[in-house]
Structure formats: structure tokens, C-alpha cells
Structure 1
Amino acid sequence: MEKLINKVAVVTGAAQGIGASIVERLFADGATVVCLDVNLDKLKESILKIDKTGERAISLKCDVSNQEEVNQVFDQIYEKLGKVDILVNNAGIVRDAFFHKMTPEQWHAVINVNLNSMFYTC
């Protein structure tokens, strides 16, 4: 199916797991997919499985917890592709600690990736 031809999709946390599966589906449906992740090597490895040319699946390193970095990456996306039709905020992290034993640093890391990134990407 190619129901998403001429659509641009951005997927965060795209290197593995659910994110990689979402990328595969969007790509199969015809979208140009911009794949964002902090692990660029893993991301490129994953993307090569679906798009050897890199024309419709584009890999960009992005720490979605960093607002300035998100702004720069989205500027690149708009400059290259002109639009974003679909945004999948998939990036998420967990810290292996009970809530009441989390350090402030652990708490802020989780909130920045799992919550603030939603605001930054919009």
C-alpha cells in the first residue's frame, strides 16, 4: 500500500523496538520517514534494512530532551523536505529505580525525554 505517498513522517526513538516498527510501516505505506534517535549508529543500521538508498528513510541524531537540538533538527527537516505531515513521539526512557528512590537527575532525565520532548517537537 502506498497511501502515504508525498507525506513526511517524523518518528522519535526510531532506532529499535516500537519506533523501528513504526518506521517500517510508514515506509511501507509510502511516506518519507525522518528517523530520530540519540544512537545514530543503531539508527542507521536499522534504517538500512528498509531503505538502502536513504532517499525515503532519513536518519538524524537527535536528543529529544534537548530543546535546542530538537529545534535545529526540525529546521533541517523543514529546509530539506518543506513540511511534516505526521509526528510520532515514540522516544521514551525508564530508570531502574523505585519512584521514591529516584535521584533528581534520574527524575529529570525521564521527564525531559518522556514528557518535555512532546512539547519540544511540536
Structure 2
Amino acid sequence: MSNTNGRTAIVTGAARGIGAAVARRLVEDGFSVALLDLDEAACQPVVDAIGSAGGRALAVGVDISDEAGVEAAVTQVVTELGDPAVLVNNAGITRDNLLFKMSADDWESVMKVHLRGAFLMSRAVQRYMTEQRWGRIVNLSSTSALGNRGQANYAAAKAGIQGFTKTLAIELGKFGVTANAIAPGFIETEMTAATAARIGVSFEEFKAHAAAQIPVGRTGNPEDIAHTVSFLVSEGAGFVSGQVIYVAGGPRA
């Protein structure tokens, strides 16, 4: 992809799953990449693998819901890799339960990571993007934004991400900064494996049941999302902004 060499990208929740796949893909596309995660040590194997392949990457430990922590993390990225031109807000957690069983803490925890975290990270990096007159923000939503039993907190947060994304597109567009959201369907990650365990079925059975309902006949993998991120942060996607792309193996309303 053109004109990515020398640019810096930040990916949150990058220790594993979708975040790690996105980080690896962005390095392939020519970016230097900062992998942010609550567990910095968990990012190191990905960073080491990127370095061994000739790429440039940095692991940074941060709680993205902590304002001071976010500012310090972004400053570290700027110092060690350069001004960020790409931000992928991928970090997320689940605290699933039916509404009448869901605690206020479970609600707040999900909102803090998904919404407060995306807000703090986006606010921290936008100053560098607007100064450069070029930037790409990609936020991870979910098909759960359309509603999903047992996920009132997660669904609300992911729907909020979509409104947040559209507003960023309106506010930042005149500075050459685009903002888009990706809403994955069933992706094979530790999070979906944990969901299978929670409801008492094997992961293979869980995947087979999901695949039977997906038009393309399979479940997704983290690389499916990474490919979509790769397009959205490319030079050629400069006229795509404020969109929600459902990467789910079929249409979603």
C-alpha cells in the first residue's frame, strides 16, 4: 500500500485475537505498530515475531479507561515510534448476563473499556492526525450492536461505538482524518471460546452451530477483520468515512 512507510499505527487490545492479527497485518502494510494492552507482557511474543520478520513494533501496557494512563501511553508511542497516523480501537471485554442478573459493575466495566476507552484514545491521537492532515481511526463494533440476548451492556456499548464513529467522521473529516467502524460477526477468538464455555457447549459445537446460520458457510477468523482494517486505513480509502462495515459472512440490517 502506498505512502504507509514511516507512518505509525496504534492497536488497542493487541495481545491476542483480532488485535494481534490487525497489528501483524499493518506491519505487513508498512506501518510501525504500537500494541497496547492491559497486559504488556502478553504483547511481547507478537512484538518479537514482528521484529524477527523485519518489522517495527512496540508493546505498551495501559488501562485505556484511565485518562492519565492513555496520555502517557500515547506519549511513549510518539517518542519511540513517531506521531500516530492510525488508531484501531479494538480493546474490549464481555460481562454477559441476562438483564435481571446483570450487576451495575458489569454494566460499568463494559462501558468503561469500550466507550470511555475509545473516547480517550481517539481524543489523545486526533491532535497528531489533524496536525499531519492525515489520519485513520477504525473502531471495532459488533453485530451484537443490533441486539443480542444476554448482552445488554455489550450491545449498548457496541451501538454507542457506531454513533461515536459517525460523529468523529463529521468532526475530523475536514482535517483529512477518516473514521469507520467494523462490526464483526462470529470470529474465532478466546472471547467466543469463553462464551461457549459459559453456556456449556464445546467450542467446536458452538462454531458449527454458528456456521450453519452464516451464508458463506463458515465462521470468521481474526485475519478477516485484519484485511478489512487494512483497506480502511489505506490511502485508497480516503473517501470512505463514517461507515459501519459488517464483516459477518452475510448481510446484516
TM-score, normalising length: structure 1: 0.89
Alignment of 1:23-34 (within 5 A): 23-34=23-34
SS at the partner of 2:64?
coil
The residue correspondences of 1:52-91 to structure 2 (distance < 5 A) are 52=52, 56-91=56-91
Q: How many residues align?
A: 122
Q: Quick one: distance in 2 between partners of 1:116 and 1:75?
A: 19
State the alpha-carbon separation in 1 of the partners of residues 114 and 46 from structure 2.
22
Q: CA shift at 1:3, angstroms?
A: 5.1
Structure 1 residues 71 and 17: alpha-carbon distance in aligned structure 2, compared to 1, 3 A threshold = same
Q: Do the aligned partners of residues 99 and 5 (structure 1) sit closer, same or farther apart at CA in structure 2, a change above 3 Å counting?
A: farther
**CA distance in 1: counterparts of 2:113 and 2:20, whole angstroms:** 18
Write the mapping of 1:94-109 to structure 2, written as runs, cut at 5 A: 94-109=94-109
- Following superposition, the deviation at residue 58 of structure 1 comes to 0.4
Give per-residue Cα distances to partners, 1:66-91, cap 9 Å, x unaligned.
Answer: 12111111122223334110000000
What CA distance in whole angstroms lies between the structure 2 residues aligned with 1:99 and 1:42?
A: 33
* Pair member with larger Rg: 2
Computed over aligned residues only, the root mean square deviation of the Cα atoms, in angstroms, reads 2.0
**Partners of 2:12 and 2:36 within 8 A in 1:** yes
The answer for the alignment partner of 1:37 in structure 2 is: 37
Structure 2 counterpart of 1:19, which letter?
A: G
What is the distance in 1 between the residues matched to 2:117 and 2:16?
Answer: 18
Q: CA deviation at 1:51?
A: 1.6
State the TM-score, normalized to the length of structure 2: 0.45
Give structure 2 stretches of 5+ with no counterpart: 123-253
Match of 1:8 in 2: 8
Higher-helix-fraction structure: 2
Residue aligning to 1:17: 17
Q: Is the 8 A contact 1:15 1:39 kept in 2?
A: yes
2:50, 2:56 within 8 Å by CA — same for their partners in 1? Answer: no
Residues 32, 81 of structure 2: 8 Å contact kept: no
SS of the residue corresponding to residue 47 of structure 1 reads: helix
Q: In structure 2, what residue type is equivalent to 1:43?
A: C
The Cα of 1:97 is off from its aligned counterpart by: 1.8
CA distance in 1, matches of 2:58, 2:2: 18
Calculate percent identity across the aligned residue pairs.
36
1:49–1:79 CA distance, 2 compared to 1 (3 A): closer
**What amino acid does structure 1 have at the position aligned with 2:33?**
V
Instruction: Indicate if the aligned counterparts of 2:93 and 2:113 stay in contact, CA closer than 8 A.
Output: yes
Q: 1:79 to 1:112 in 2, by over 3 A?
A: same
Shift of residue 114 of structure 1? 0.8
Question: Do the aligned residues in 1 keep the contact of 2:11 with 2:23 (CA within 8 Å)?
Answer: yes
Ranges of 4+ aligned residues in structure 1 off by more than 6 Å: none
